[in-house]
Amino acid sequence: MKRTGVFICHCGINIAGTVDVKKVAKELSNHTGVVHSEEYIYMCSDPGQNLIIEAIKENQLDSVVVACCSPTLHETTFRNTVKSAGINPFQCEIANIREQCSWVHKDMEKATEKAIKLTKSAVERVHRNESLDPISIPVTRRALVVGGGIAGIQSALDLANSGYEVILVERSPSIGGHMIQLSETFPTLDCSQCILTPKMVEVSKHPKIKLLTYSEIQDISGYVGNFKVKILKKPTYVDPDKCTLCDECTKVCPVVVPNEFDLGLTGRRAVYMPFPQAIPATYTLDIKSCPGLLPIACGKCADVCEPEAIDYDMKPEIVEEEVGAIIVATGFDLYDKELMAEYGHGKYADVLDGLQFERLCSASGPTTGKILRPSDHKEPKEVVFIQCVGSRDPELHCAYCSKICCMYTAKHAMLYKHHVPDGQAYIFYIDIRSGGKGYEEFVQRAVEEDGALYLRGKVSKIFEDKGKIKVWGVDTLSGKDIEIDADMVVLATAMRPSEGAEELAKKLKIALDKDGFLSEAHPKLRPVESVTPGMFLAGAAQAPKDIPEAVAQASGAAAKAIAILSQERLFHAPTVAKVNVNLCTGCGMCVHVCPYDSLSLKDGKAEVNEVLCEGCGTCSATCLRAAIEVKNLTPLQVNEMIGASLGG
Amino acid sequence: MAEEFEPKIVAFLCKWCSSAGSDLAGVSRMEYPYNVVPITVMCSGSISPLYILSAFSRGADGVLVSGCHPGDCHYIKGNFYARRRIALINKLLDFIGLEPQRFQMSWVSAAEGTKYTEIIKDFVKELKPLGPQTKLGRDL
For the ranges A212-221, A294-303, A563-572, B104-113, the lowest mean pLDDT is seen at: A294-303
Helix and strand counts by DSSP (H, E) for chain B: 4, 4
In a domain, B140, yes or no: no
Contact B47 A111 (CB under 8 A): no
- Shortest distance between the Cα of B103 and any Cα of chain A, in A, equals 15
pLDDT tens for residues B15-51?
989 999 999 999 999 999 999 999 999 999 999 999 9
Q: Identify whether the C-beta of residue A522 lies closer than 8 Å to the C-beta of residue A139.
A: no
The amino acid at A129: N
- A561 plus A617 within the same structural domain: no
Write down the ipTM of this complex.
0.96
Q: What angle do CA A473, A476, A482 make, to 5 degrees?
A: 30
pLDDT tens for residues A366-385?
999 999 999 999 999 999 99
What does the alpha-carbon distance between residue A429 and residue A459 come to, in Å, rounded to a whole number?
9
In a domain, B138, yes or no: no
- A126 plus A202 within the same structural domain: no
In a domain, A9, yes or no: yes
- A154 plus A171 within the same structural domain: yes
- Please give the model's pTM, rounded to 2 decimal places: 0.77
Give the residue from A134, A116, A129, A19 showing the smallest Cα distance to A64: A129
Contact B27 A99 (CB under 8 A): yes
What does the alpha-carbon distance between residue A173 and residue A210 come to, in Å, rounded to a whole number?
15
What is the pLDDT confidence band of residue A221, given thresholds at 50, 70 and 90? Answer: confident
- A111 plus A203 within the same structural domain: no
Contact B78 A635 (CB under 8 A): no
Using a CB-CB cut-off of 8 Å, the residues of chain A touching B138 are none
- Show which of A73, A102, A132 is a domain's final residue: A132
- A344 plus A463 within the same structural domain: yes
- A410 plus A361 within the same structural domain: yes
In a domain, A227, yes or no: no
CATH number of the domain that residue A380 is part of: 3.50.50.60
Question: Average pLDDT in the A597-625 region?
Answer: 93
- A51 plus A24 within the same structural domain: yes
Q: Identify whether the C-beta of residue B42 lies closer than 8 Å to the C-beta of residue B13.
A: no
Give the residue from A28, A7, A19 showing the smallest Cα distance to A92: A7
Mean pLDDT of chain A: 95
- pLDDT > 60? residue B1: no
- A485 plus A349 within the same structural domain: yes
pLDDT tens for residues A19-67?
999 999 999 999 999 999 999 999 999 999 999 999 999 999 999 999 9
Q: Which domain holds residue B26?
A: 9-130
Question: Average pLDDT in the A84-105 region?
Answer: 97
- A480 plus A585 within the same structural domain: no
What's the pLDDT score for residue A611?
A: 86
Using a CB-CB cut-off of 8 Å, the residues of chain B touching A104 are 25-26, 29-32, 117
Q: At what angle do helices A150-161 and A192-205 cross, to 10 degrees?
A: 40
Using a CB-CB cut-off of 8 Å, the residues of chain B touching A617 are 41-43, 45-46
- A104 plus A152 within the same structural domain: no
In a domain, A586, yes or no: yes
pLDDT tens for residues B96-111?
899 999 999 999 988 8
In a domain, A172, yes or no: yes
What's the pLDDT score for residue B103?
A: 95
Output A585 or B111, whichever has higher pLDDT: A585
Considering its fold, how many domains does chain B have in total? 1
- pLDDT > 90? residue A533: no
Between A107, A614, A639, which is nearest B75 by CB?
Answer: A614
Considering its fold, how many domains does chain A have in total? 4
Q: Which domain holds residue A31?
A: 4-132
Give the residue from A141, A305, A183 showing the smallest Cα distance to A238: A305
Question: Average pLDDT in the B66-79 region?
Answer: 85
CATH number of the domain that residue A88 is part of: 3.40.50
What's the pLDDT score for residue A529?
A: 93
- pLDDT > 90? residue A510: no
In a domain, A543, yes or no: yes
Mark out the alpha helices in A318-367 (DSSP H runs).
354-361
What does the alpha-carbon distance between residue B34 and residue B121 come to, in Å, rounded to a whole number?
10
- A352 plus A477 within the same structural domain: yes
Using a CB-CB cut-off of 8 Å, the residues of chain A touching B48 are 620-621, 635
Q: At residue A52, what are phi and psi to the nearest 5 degrees?
A: -65, -45
What residues 59-78 of chain B have any CB closer than 8 A to a CB of chain A?
A: 59-60, 71, 74-78
- Cβ–Cβ contact B111 with A under 8 A: no
Contact A531 B76 (CB under 8 A): yes
In a domain, B137, yes or no: no
Q: Identify whether the C-beta of residue A305 lies closer than 8 Å to the C-beta of residue A248.
A: yes
In a domain, B91, yes or no: yes
- pLDDT > 90? residue A524: no
B4 by Cβ neighbours in 10 Å (0-12 / 13-18 / 19+) ranks as exposed
The single-letter DSSP state of residue A2 is -
CATH number of the domain that residue B109 is part of: 3.40.50
- pLDDT > 70? residue A483: yes
Output A187 or A221, whichever has higher pLDDT: A187
- pLDDT > 50? residue A578: yes
What's the pLDDT score for residue A325?
A: 98
- A466 plus A342 within the same structural domain: yes
What is the pLDDT confidence band of residue B138, given thresholds at 50, 70 and 90? Answer: low
Between A72, A106, A639, which is nearest B23 by CB?
Answer: A72
